[in-house]
Structure 1
Amino acid sequence: MADVRIIGLDIAKSVFQLHGVDDAGATVLQKRLTRARLLPFFEKLPPCLIGVEACATSHFWARELTKLGHEVKLMPAQYVKPYVKRQKNDMADAEAIAEAVTRPSMRFVGPKSPDEQSAMMLHKVRLMLTRQLIMITNATRAHMAEFGLIAPVGRGGVDRLLAIIDDQTDERIPAQARSCLQMLVAQLRLVKLQILDNDRQVLTLARSTELGRRLMEVPGIGPLVASALVACVPDPSMFRCGRNMAAWLGLVPKQNSSGGKERLGSITKAGNRYLRQMLFAGAMAVIRRAMQGTRRTWLIRLLERRKPKVAAMALANKNARIAWAMMMSGEGYREPMAIAA
């Protein structure tokens, strides 16, 4: 055991596979452990480098193993996959992790604290509730349409349908169907209340940190995006520049270049999907406001050449780079006109 210097740990719910190598790269450990035996095993092991794929429960195990004196590095699973040899199984995965963690060009994921994970849980729960709201709304519309009751698109149309369901004197809906629709209405109203409560917690979270308050000064970055940025990027120094952070979020074009000829396509959609969606939604809000104004900013000039959604993606990329610069420098947001003056 004293010869083990690097361990590749393939985590799961109940069974964990280990692959350890020494300084020369020779395999000196291959072991399969249950959940209850994992931490006691590492308590007896001298401090070493442990590689883990950044997947479910990885941040928890990174914190626990770090407490025992080990150095833990998390890696995106797609970066580990090229090191898997032939057949895929737990032993091959652990060996690939041990190989990948030693690569100097490997990119790592910063372990999150419990508070940062709690902040992201707010966003994940909000996303789930929003999807449930859409599902219940669409189901209500579809069931009402079966009785010839159609409402316009939008919140006002849904409210009109809910009023019909609540009206016991309306004979266009059979009694049995009305009881089913009332179940959907009860769920719809509960989900709306839960989303409102979640939004209040997100707003409080964004305002509770100095960084969150500074980020909310950027046009297109509101409480949702600010709190998500603080939670998702605990250490901005892991990115060499703002462009790298924008690329990590998938806000850059795909490349299919060869022979010195550059071919760019649509955005890569890599990285954190939720954060990318929020940045894009904020950028669309800024564009809608810019199209109503008369100031000829770079955004207006861009809209003259490109479609609004393409311009929104460019603005989302710019906001990601601005956010990185503010995180690194500790400064507040400065309007471009003020910088030019």
Structure 2
Amino acid sequence: MAIVCVGIDLAKNVFAVHGINEAGRPELVRPAVPRDKLLALVSALPPCVIGMEACSGAHHWARQFIALGHTVRLIAPKFVTPYRMSGKRGKNDAADAAAICEAVQRPHMRFVPLKSVEQQNRLMVHRARQAYVEQRTGHLNRIRGLLSEVTWLDERTTKAGDAYLRTLFILGARAVLAAAPKKNDPISRWVVALAERRGYWKAVVAMAAKNARMAWAVLRKGEAFALPA
């Protein structure tokens, strides 16, 4: 009997395929189909319904399967779970493919709309931007938290507060002092004069304390600030 419905469990390199005939009996069970063999396997099937769990790769495969004359349905993974649990199936790729095949046949199942290449490209840009914003916000919140707890550096080189943050400020101050003799802005002139008057390390610690105060002001007030080039 002809295969009428197929469930495919997607993976990176090896896929599981489960197909049934009109009587609902398994007609095609392939627990390990290499990636480069999947399209050939599907192209040899008569036009049928193919179900997959929705993901970025699923949209890619769906477009290729549709071009071969198949009807493709993408299902949110949470809607496949109940069918994976039914029948006491074990958790493996072959069982997942069978569960997808069962879920895609349900008359009231909700499916995920297929996306075009252009739609996926736009979505990728939006997600990348969102990830950047979330990462930047997380870093700023962490810095705010550390700055709120640290005891500010002063010329006595206090060891209170966050040791890692203190190290970063010291390293930054050393870089400022190294470049300062070649510059003529007020901060550069100030730190060079301080080093000549009080010594290298006291100037470094004083510069670190100044940087810490400026960083706190920027984070607290939301203002932009940059040292002269």
Q: Residues of 2 paired with 1:27 and 1:143: CA distance?
A: 60
Paired amino acid for 1:112: K
Residue equivalent to 1:112: 115
- TM (norm. structure 1) is 0.44
More relative contact order, 1 or 2 (CA 8 Å, 6+ apart) = 2
- Displacement of 1:90: 1.1
Paired amino acid for 2:35: R
Paired amino acid for 1:93: D
Residue equivalent to 1:81: 81
Q: Residues of 1 paired with 2:47 and 2:64: CA distance?
A: 13
Contact 1:10 1:52 in 2 (8 A): yes
- Displacement of 1:47: 1.4
1:148 aligns with 2:148: no
- Displacement of 1:144: 4.0
1:42 aligns with 2:33: no
Residue equivalent to 2:27: 28
Residue equivalent to 2:11: 12
The counterpart of 2:98, out of the listed 95, 107, 114, is: 95
Q: How does 1:265-276 map to 2 (within 5 A)?
A: none
Residue equivalent to 1:271: none
Paired amino acid for 2:123: M
Residue equivalent to 1:314: none
Q: How does 1:304-323 map to 2 (within 5 A)?
A: none
Contact 1:147 1:172 in 2 (8 A): no
Q: Residues of 1 paired with 2:106 and 2:67: CA distance?
A: 24
- Displacement of 1:147: 4.3
Paired amino acid for 2:5: I
- Displacement of 1:139: 3.7
Q: Residues of 2 paired with 1:17 and 1:95: CA distance?
A: 9
5+ long unaligned stretches in structure 2: 154-171, 177-186, 192-204, 216-229
Residue equivalent to 1:124: 127
Paired amino acid for 2:6: I
Number of equivalenced pairs = 164
Paired amino acid for 2:126: H
Contact 1:147 1:173 in 2 (8 A): no
- TM (norm. structure 2) is 0.64
Task: Give the secondary-structure state (helix, strand or coil) at the position aligned to 2:102.
Answer: helix
Q: Residues of 1 paired with 2:24 and 2:106: CA distance?
A: 12
Paired amino acid for 1:173: A
CA RMSD of aligned residues (A): 2.9
Q: Residues of 2 paired with 1:123 and 1:81: CA distance?
A: 29
Q: Residues of 2 paired with 1:132 and 1:52: CA distance?
A: 31
Residue equivalent to 1:173: 208
Deviations 1:42-75 (A, max 9, x none): 1222211101111241111111111111111001
Give percent identity, aligned residues only.
38
Task: Give the secondary-structure state (helix, strand or coil) at the position aligned to 1:173.
Answer: helix
Contact 1:11 1:58 in 2 (8 A): yes
Contact 2:2 2:46 in 1 (8 A): no
- Displacement of 1:111: 0.7
